[in-house]
Structure 1
Amino acid sequence: MTTDIIEDITEAEQGSSLWHDAWLRLRKNRLALAGGMLLVAFTIIALLTPWIAPYAYDAQNLDLGASPPSAQHWLGTDIFGRDLLTQIMFGGRVSLAVGFVATSVALLIGVTWGAIAGYVGGKVDAVMMRLVDIMYALPFMIFIVLLMVVFGRNILLLFLAIGAVEWLTMARIMRSQVQQLRQQEFVEAAISLGLPPSTIIRRHLIPNALGPIIVYTTLTIPSVMLLEAFLSFLGLGIQPPQTSWGLLISYGAETMEEFPWLLIFPGLALTVTLFSLNFLGDGLRDALDVRRSKD
């Protein structure tokens, strides 16, 4: 009898947990789960590409040239006789890396900036957020192009440049969250104990704002990947011999009338990944909505 009571209490405690409730709601969202599984699958394939790709990355067959899908080349070949499936797999490594790394840079800057502004408040907050407003007014595409022109076309610089212009929204979101949490009793208790502001922000405020941070992350990655694809399409992003989905789409667009598969398959890979991320982001947003915890 006592064991049954303990189990009931444990289940009640788990049921009242925000993260437990969020997981239960997320499990009911089939599109979000499918998006998450596809994203995990694409990430695993990208990591294992050097070992599972059907052909070597630089393998060419100029005599074969651009050929449609066949038993030997499932997605066809490009104008240099390179296997398109292999190119897409290696391009996915770069595109996903840009998405994850650039988003991480944006989160690091945005979370730190917004947390400090929201916690300190006053003139410091006003100055920091006015800088954010000024940067919002600047055409970020021109900013990235200038960085690429001045410092050269480098993949690491591309990561940093994209991340450096995608942190502004996260800073505003984090500032709003911290301003709300700043009035909570656990923060006032930490202040009364004499904890330094850096500790309060790191151990109390940021962990309690993980919900919006996670949701914003899943919605920023596709935005970053689209930006990289657009830059590569313009010739300002990834440069040969490296490749990305955006660069493959650029090449495919040039020959789409003669060899449509060169545009269809890279575009399909990018589209499916972006849809997966958006479905997962929407699902996490709904699952982590505190107002739904009583549903």
Structure 2
Amino acid sequence: MTTEVITDIAQAEQGTSLWQDAWVRLKKNRLAVCGLIVLLIMVMTALLTPWIAPYAFDAQNLDLGATPPSAAHWLGTDIFGRDMLTQILYGGRISLAVGFIATTVALLIGVTWGAIAGYVGGRVDAVMMRLVDILYALPFMIFIVLLMVVFGRNMLLLFLAIGAVEWLTMARIMRGQVQSLRQQEFVEAAISLGLPTSTIIRRHLVPNALGPIIVYTTLTIPGVMLLEAFLSFLGLGVQPPQTSWGLLISYGADTMEEYPWLLIYPGLTLTVTLFSLNFLGDGLRDALDVRGSRD
């Protein structure tokens, strides 16, 4: 009997958790692993931007103007003589921050709303989910535009506005998960022990629904980043002197015929990030699908 067979038998006897099995299945998905690596590189680069950017963020050379990629400026410069690589690095900090923070806001609202509706049930569930249906019917882009016009264009409002319109699907997903879990033995045991509803939801129901929550998170972040890019493209998102990938794409689109690199590089960076998040989300969905893994 070989050493590998003995190791496999020992692992089978010890057993593995859902998360260990999911990690093993995720590692077999090359696209998901590549997406995870690219995403980690993007995040680390954003965090280290002040130290690795080749030029200062506000450094410009009007005499230089827009120049194509060169040894001094790897991705060229814009019409103000600013280094495009530096602009993309600093823009990534804003775009990734919008994606992660707005998604966190959406998850907090959606998970809380869906868990309460699914666990309490009855009229409370009916009223809460009918409100979700009504909100689904509203044109959220107009809602965000009105918020930005009425309350001003600032980063905090942008985070909250995007997060406030992205929670509806999470609420429906969480409600369905809680409805399938609330009849389980561990929930009935918690009720028999006299635990309050908030504790049952927080300590028993939400942790057991982390799989769908994680998957939805990885699929929501690219959607939020794309929404921010669209708002910035319309001039309603990030405002100068700050920048984001969406704002850089907007500037590049205006001059794409004369200076195509101003559009190509920010657009390529955003595309690679969105693909990485989608690949990772698809990989996590497959890895956490227990029924699919048994087939």
Does TM-score exceed 0.5, indicating one fold? yes
Distance 1:294 1:271 in 2: 34
- Provide the residue aligned with 2:156 in structure 1: 156
User: Residues 65 and 77 of structure 1 are in contact (CA less than 8 Å); yes or no, is this contact kept in structure 2?
Assistant: yes
TM-superposed CA distance for 1:120, in Å, is 0.2
Distance 1:103 1:134 in 2: 21
TM-superposed CA distance for 1:19, in Å, is 1.2
- Provide the residue aligned with 1:256 in structure 2: 256
| Structure 2 unaligned spans of 5+ | 1-5
TM-superposed CA distance for 1:200, in Å, is 0.4
TM-superposed CA distance for 1:17, in Å, is 2.0
| Structure 1 unaligned spans of 5+ | 1-5
- Provide the residue aligned with 2:221 in structure 1: 221
3-state SS in 2 of match to 1:75: coil
- Provide the residue aligned with 2:209 in structure 1: 209
State how many pairs are aligned.
Answer: 290
Distance 2:13 2:155 in 1: 48
1:182-233 CA distance string (max 9 Å, x none): 0101000100110001000000000000000000000000000000000000
3-state SS in 1 of match to 2:294: coil
The letter of the residue matching 2:226 is L
Distance 2:13 2:141 in 1: 49
3-state SS in 1 of match to 2:70: coil
Q: Which moved more, 1:249-258 or 1:7-16?
A: 7-16
RMSD between aligned alpha carbons? 1.3
The letter of the residue matching 1:109 is I
Matched, 1:128 2:140: no
The letter of the residue matching 2:242 is Q
- Provide the residue aligned with 1:277 in structure 2: 277
1:150-170 CA distance string (max 9 Å, x none): 100011100000000000000
1:44-70 CA distance string (max 9 Å, x none): 000000111000000001111000000
Matched, 1:88 2:120: no
Distance 2:70 2:121 in 1: 63
TM-superposed CA distance for 1:9, in Å, is 7.5
User: Residues 14 and 20 of structure 1 are in contact (CA less than 8 Å); yes or no, is this contact kept in structure 2?
Assistant: no
- Provide the residue aligned with 1:177 in structure 2: 177
- Provide the residue aligned with 1:3 in structure 2: none
Distance 1:13 1:214 in 2: 29
Aligned pairs (5 A) from 1:7-22: 11-12=11-12, 15-22=15-22
Normalised by the size of structure 1, how large is the TM-score? 0.96
Alignment CA distance shift 1:180-1:14 (3 Å)? farther
- Provide the residue aligned with 2:286 in structure 1: 286
TM-superposed CA distance for 1:31, in Å, is 0.3
Alignment CA distance shift 1:77-1:8 (3 Å)? closer
Alignment CA distance shift 1:193-1:257 (3 Å)? same
User: Residues 21 and 293 of structure 1 are in contact (CA less than 8 Å); yes or no, is this contact kept in structure 2?
Assistant: no
TM-superposed CA distance for 1:8, in Å, is 7.1
Distance 2:236 2:10 in 1: 56
Normalised by the size of structure 2, how large is the TM-score? 0.96
Distance 1:70 1:167 in 2: 44
User: Residues 117 and 128 of structure 1 are in contact (CA less than 8 Å); yes or no, is this contact kept in structure 2?
Assistant: yes
The letter of the residue matching 2:29 is N
Distance 1:32 1:258 in 2: 37
- Provide the residue aligned with 1:140 in structure 2: 140
Distance 1:190 1:87 in 2: 53
Distance 1:169 1:161 in 2: 16
3-state SS in 2 of match to 1:59: coil
Aligned pairs (5 A) from 1:193-208: 193-208=193-208
